[in-house]
């Protein structure tokens, strides 16, 4: 994926200025939380969580608002901290618009002598959640020898039957192949019956162990916890450790850059029974899925924005379905998506590689094996079916299959450049019903033998990005977006004319764009990218975006829909660096023309959502100028201020927002002062700056 064509923006801007209902409920407002984004709500929310724990569990309700978490607690690990600790049988339940925001005071600085620091927003588990306790005799009370275990069996037998006195029906147990080492092959389950040293188990075993050992981890385990309908933003939004039963649904987990090196996506280990449904995960780094022997994991309808994602470490029984992956892998990333486990189904997902994976000759957009060689016997039964891959991987592979007898069927692979569509090293894969749209690379390579394959249509949408930030994500009504792909329009970029009523039309040079079947105004079109405006009538949680050129319509690309999706325009259209901004005297803000403190500067954005008066698709802003319904704030150099004006840019198309804000005193001046616009609870992209003197 490239950046949006810059000519139109220069012309556009610069001529102008599941929880059981029987559980008790604990509303955080009743415990003193403010939800105003200013006061530290950490103590109040933790008090509500503690009250639920004291009652044996419950629902902690979090009404709409921004809850600043500006203090943190330590843990037994000297480098790891958290804002909120959630124990067994508790679900955090947000209302629409509820956000937990980790503030600067909610992040520990790097401790002396530490090479890293981890600040989690939500930590599910015991106070020892940052430690591995199940396999540690300091915590688990010791190991008990088992007879050999058999994969598929729901029974185990103690080597010494008298050891059964240490267990009871209902206990949570951990079965280890060996008892020394760091990441150890293991299975976590629950005892359903004890009979003379023979245990019946809640789950059939995934693997066979010849000389296993058993630990009773009942006192160490966290059970039946979850989080729903919340926005969680911070260095490490979510930490879950040694847990049976976890649900995350309808949430946004955002790992922001404010933590510097102290930012990761998730920290989840040893999870049995995890459901992640209809969430959005966003991190500028690698996103690790649950690790350390996590089993029975479901990702369904989730959207991921990261450099790369994956799991391993002896995971088993994973299901991915209907997910959307938007991955900006670096040249050194060996795989954008790694599904290195046992019994894994990867079905009906779409994977978008947004940058070229070039530095690894064995690199791939998706692989079924990314681990040391000795892991091979723990990995297998991989099925990759009915997915769509949009692939940039010059010199590498879109899909790399290395395990024994994988299945790759019903997939569509759309590759650019010299990427190989599918590389199979095992030689025993089941391949059927796939199609490939290739650049100069070969479609299929099986152990060095190249094969042709049925061709996919060569017109498709591979990415939908905010035209200002150049970042894929949720779209908002009225947002200017850029659709990337192939066969979208004429070979040369064509600027679309304004109609005689002063608006952009919904047809341009043979191209039309629609969201959920509603025609969208078009700003420019070309074979590989089209700039369009999301119709104001688009609603719901997802939309189907299609492009039609000369009668050929792309497959629908599913995008999430949000009330707001702000992005700041930049001077070079990359979404980074110098903002597209106008000084109070009418000059363009640049390092050579900085804005004095106390002056007003005009910023330009898109993604504000619904307005008053209501926006009209493709029409230029008219008096009275529309204002966004969502509240708007601007943070300049770390200081947040209310803008003097936030609304339509006079004479510009609906979807462009002008924000006039006075530069606050007390900030550090310079050529690159950070600026962020927040609309509602959503912030514009990082790494945008203005020049201030």
Cα distance between residue 220 and residue 288, in whole Å: 23
Cα distance between residue 519 and residue 198, in whole Å: 65
Instruction: Indicate the pLDDT class of residue 10, thresholds 50, 70 and 90.
Output: very low
Instruction: Indicate the pLDDT class of residue 296, thresholds 50, 70 and 90.
Output: very high
Mean pLDDT of the chain: 90
**357 pLDDT exceeds 70?**
no
pLDDT at 448: 83
- Percent of the chain predicted with pLDDT > 70: 94
- Let me know: does 208 contact 149? Beta carbons within 8 Å: yes
How far from each other are the two terminal CA atoms of the chain, in whole angstroms?
36
pLDDT at 12: 41
Provide the token pair at 194: 């004890």
pLDDT at 331: 65
- Let me know: does 295 contact 321? Beta carbons within 8 Å: no
**402 pLDDT exceeds 90?**
yes
Reported for 185-193, long-range contacts at CB under 8 A and 24+ positions apart, including other chains, are 185/209, 185/293, 185/314, 185/378, 186/134, 186/135, 186/293, 186/314, 187/293, 187/295, 187/316, 188/134, 188/217, 188/244, 188/270, 188/272, 188/293, 188/295, 189/272, 190/244, 191/167, 193/169
**11 pLDDT exceeds 80?**
no
pLDDT at 15: 35
**83 pLDDT exceeds 60?**
yes
pLDDT at 116: 82
Bridge partners of 214? 144, 175
Backbone phi, psi, residue 275, to 5°: -120, 125
CA atoms within 13 A on the CB side of 459: 20
Contacts of 219 (CB under 8 A, 6+ apart): none
Q: Which uninterrupted H or E stretch holds 186?
A: strand 186-195
Cα distance between residue 215 and residue 136, in whole Å: 9
Query: What region does 202 belong to: left with phi over 0, alpha with psi -120 to 50, or beta?
Result: alpha
**4 pLDDT exceeds 70?**
no
CA atoms within 13 A on the CB side of 425: 11
pLDDT at 263: 56
Cα distance between residue 412 and residue 675, in whole Å: 41
CATH code, 137-216: 2.40.30.10
pLDDT at 21: 43
pLDDT at 115: 81
Nearest alpha carbon to residue 281 among 303, 307, 301, 311: 303
Nearest alpha carbon to residue 255 among 247, 264, 246: 264
Q: Which uninterrupted H or E stretch holds 154?
A: none
Q: Tokens 């660096």 — which residue?
A: 577
**9 pLDDT exceeds 70?**
no
What are the pLDDT digits (tens) for 538-564? 999 889 999 999 999 998 888 989 999
Reported for 588-593, long-range contacts at CB under 8 A and 24+ positions apart, including other chains, are 588/14, 589/690, 589/691, 590/691, 591/671, 591/672, 591/691, 592/691, 593/691
User: Per-residue pLDDT averaged across 200-220, rounded?
Assistant: 97
pLDDT at 335: 82
Domain ranges of the chain: 137-216, 286-456, 469-556, 567-692
User: Per-residue pLDDT averaged across 136-156, rounded?
Assistant: 96
DSSP string computed for 201-232: ESS--SS--SS-EEEE-TTT-EEEEEEES-EE
Nearest alpha carbon to residue 8 among 595, 529, 583, 564: 529
Cα distance between residue 481 and residue 655, in whole Å: 10
Instruction: Indicate the pLDDT class of residue 238, thresholds 50, 70 and 90.
Output: very high
DSSP string computed for 477-514: TT-EEEEEEESSS-SS-EEPPBPTTSBB-S-BTTEEEE
What are the pLDDT digits (tens) for 305-337? 888 898 888 999 999 999 999 888 776 678 889
pLDDT at 412: 94
- Let me know: does 322 contact 279? Beta carbons within 8 Å: no
- Which range among 114-128, 160-174, 485-499, 670-684 has the greatest average pLDDT? 160-174
Q: Tokens 């989690």 — which residue?
A: 120
pLDDT at 7: 38
Parallel, antiparallel, or unpaired: how do β-strands 222-228 and 236-249 relate? parallel
State the CB neighbour count (10 A cutoff) for residue 615: 23
Tell me the helix, strand and coil percentages in the chain, rounded to 5. 5, 45, 45
User: Per-residue pLDDT averaged across 559-584, rounded?
Assistant: 93
Domain 469-556, architecture per CATH:
Sandwich (2.60)
Nearest alpha carbon to residue 657 among 519, 477, 520: 477
Instruction: Indicate the pLDDT class of residue 417, thresholds 50, 70 and 90.
Output: confident
* Residue 100: cis peptide before it, omega within 30 degrees of 0: no
Cα distance between residue 271 and residue 240, in whole Å: 8
- DSSP-based three-state secondary structure for 55: coil
Chain centroid to CA 628: 26
pLDDT at 451: 85
What are the pLDDT digits (tens) for 477-521? 999 999 999 899 999 999 999 877 678 999 999 999 999 999 999
What are the Cα distances from residue 278, in Å, to 74, 253, 304? 31, 11, 11
- DSSP-based three-state secondary structure for 187: strand
Provide the token pair at 469: 């930030």
- Let me know: does 691 contact 670? Beta carbons within 8 Å: yes
pLDDT at 546: 95
Cα distance between residue 660 and residue 666, in whole Å: 19
- Let me know: does 172 contact 190? Beta carbons within 8 Å: yes
DSSP string computed for 363-396: -EEEES--S-GGGGGG-EEEEEES-EEEEE-TTS
Bridge partners of 157? 198
- Percent of the chain predicted with pLDDT > 90: 70
| CB neighbour burial string for 324-337, b if at least 16 within 10 angstroms, e if fewer | bbbbbbeeebbbbb
pLDDT at 631: 93
**353 pLDDT exceeds 90?**
no
What are the Cα distances from residue 437, in Å, to 350, 364, 401? 15, 16, 19
Least confident of 90-99, 105-114, 360-369: 360-369
State the CB neighbour count (10 A cutoff) for residue 376: 14
Domains 137-216 and 469-556 share a fold: no
Instruction: Indicate the pLDDT class of residue 6, thresholds 50, 70 and 90.
Output: very low
């Amino acid at each position: 994926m490239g950046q949006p064509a810059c000519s139109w923006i220069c012309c556009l801007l610069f001529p102008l200025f599941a929880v059981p209902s029987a559980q008790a409920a604990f509303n955080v407002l009743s415990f003193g939380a403010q939800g105003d984004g200013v006061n530290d709500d950490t103590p109040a929310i933790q008090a509500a969580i503690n009250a639920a724990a004291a009652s044996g569990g419950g629902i902690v309700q979090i009404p709409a608002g921004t809850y600043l978490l500006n203090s943190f607690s330590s843990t037994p690990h000297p480098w790891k901290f958290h804002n909120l600790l959630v124990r067994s049988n508790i679900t955090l339940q947000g209302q629409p618009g509820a956000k937990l925001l980790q503030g600067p005071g909610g992040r520990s600085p790097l401790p002396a002598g530490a090479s890293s620091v981890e600040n989690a927003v939500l930590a599910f588990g015991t106070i020892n959640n940052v430690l591995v306790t199940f396999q540690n005799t300091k915590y688990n009370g010791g190991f008990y020898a088992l007879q050999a275990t058999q994969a598929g069996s729901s029974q185990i037998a103690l080597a010494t039957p008298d050891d059964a006195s240490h267990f009871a029906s209902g206990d949570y147990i951990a079965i280890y192949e060996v008892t020394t080492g760091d990441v150890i092959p293991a299975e976590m389950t629950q005892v359903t019956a004890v009979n003379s040293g023979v245990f019946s188990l809640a789950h059939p075993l995934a693997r066979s162990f010849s000389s296993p050992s058993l630990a009773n981890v009942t006192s160490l385990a966290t059970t039946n916890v979850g989080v729903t309908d919340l926005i969680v933003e911070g260095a490490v939004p979510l930490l879950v450790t040694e847990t049976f039963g976890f649900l995350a649904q309808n949430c946004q987990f955002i790992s922001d850059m404010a933590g510097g090196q102290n930012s990761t996506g998730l920290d989840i280990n040893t999870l049995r029974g995890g459901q992640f449904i209809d969430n959005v995960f966003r991190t500028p780094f690698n996103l690790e899925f649950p690790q350390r022997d996590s089993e029975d994991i479901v990702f369904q309808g989730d959207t991921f924005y990261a450099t790369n994602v994956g799991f391993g470490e002896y995971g088993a029984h994973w299901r991915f379905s209907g997910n959307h992956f938007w991955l900006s892998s670096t040249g050194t990333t060996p795989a954008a998506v790694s599904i290195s486990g046992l019994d894994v189904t990867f079905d009906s997902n779409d994977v978008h590689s947004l940058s070229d994976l070039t530095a690894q000759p064995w690199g791939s957009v998706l692989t079924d094996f990314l681990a040391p060689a000795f892991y091979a016997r723990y990995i297998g039964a991989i099925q990759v079916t009915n997915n769509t891959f949009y692939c940039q991987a010059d010199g590498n592979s879109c899909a790399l299959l290395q395990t024994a007898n994988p299945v790759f069927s019903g997939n569509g692979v759309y590759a650019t450049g010299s990427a190989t569509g599918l590389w199979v090293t095992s030689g025993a894969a089941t391949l059927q019903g796939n199609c490939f749209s290739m650049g100069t690379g070969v479609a299929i390579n099986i152990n060095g033998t190249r094969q042709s394959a049925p061709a996919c249509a060569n017109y498709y949408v591979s990415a939908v990005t905010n035209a200002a930030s150049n970042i894929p994500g949720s779209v908002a009504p009225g947002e200017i977006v850029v659709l990337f792909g192939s066969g979208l329009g004429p070979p040369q970029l064509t600027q679309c004319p304004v109609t005689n009523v002063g608006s952009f039309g919904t047809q341009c040079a043979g191209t039309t764009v629609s969201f959920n079947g509603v025609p969208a105004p078009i700003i420019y079109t070309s074979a590989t990218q089209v700039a369009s405006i999301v119709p104001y009538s688009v609603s719901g949680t997802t939309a189907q975006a299609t492009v039609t050129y000369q009668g050929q319509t792309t497959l629908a690309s599913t995008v999430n829909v949000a009330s707001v999706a702000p992005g700041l325009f930049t001077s070079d259209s990359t979404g980074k660096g110098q903002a597209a901004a106008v000084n109070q005297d009418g000059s363009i803000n640049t390092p050579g023309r900085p804005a004095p403190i106390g002056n007003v500067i005009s910023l330009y954005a898109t993604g504000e959502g619904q307005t008053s008066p209501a926006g009209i698709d493709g029409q230029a802003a008219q008096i009275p100028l529309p204002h966004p319904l969502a509240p708007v704030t601007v943070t300049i150099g770390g200081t947040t201020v209310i803008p003097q004006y936030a609304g339509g840019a006079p004479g510009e198309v609906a979807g462009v927002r002008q924000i006039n804000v006075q530069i606050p005193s007390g900030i550090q001046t310079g050529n690159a002062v950070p600026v962020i616009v927040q609309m509602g609870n959503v912030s514009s992209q990082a790494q945008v700056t203005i020049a201030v003197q």
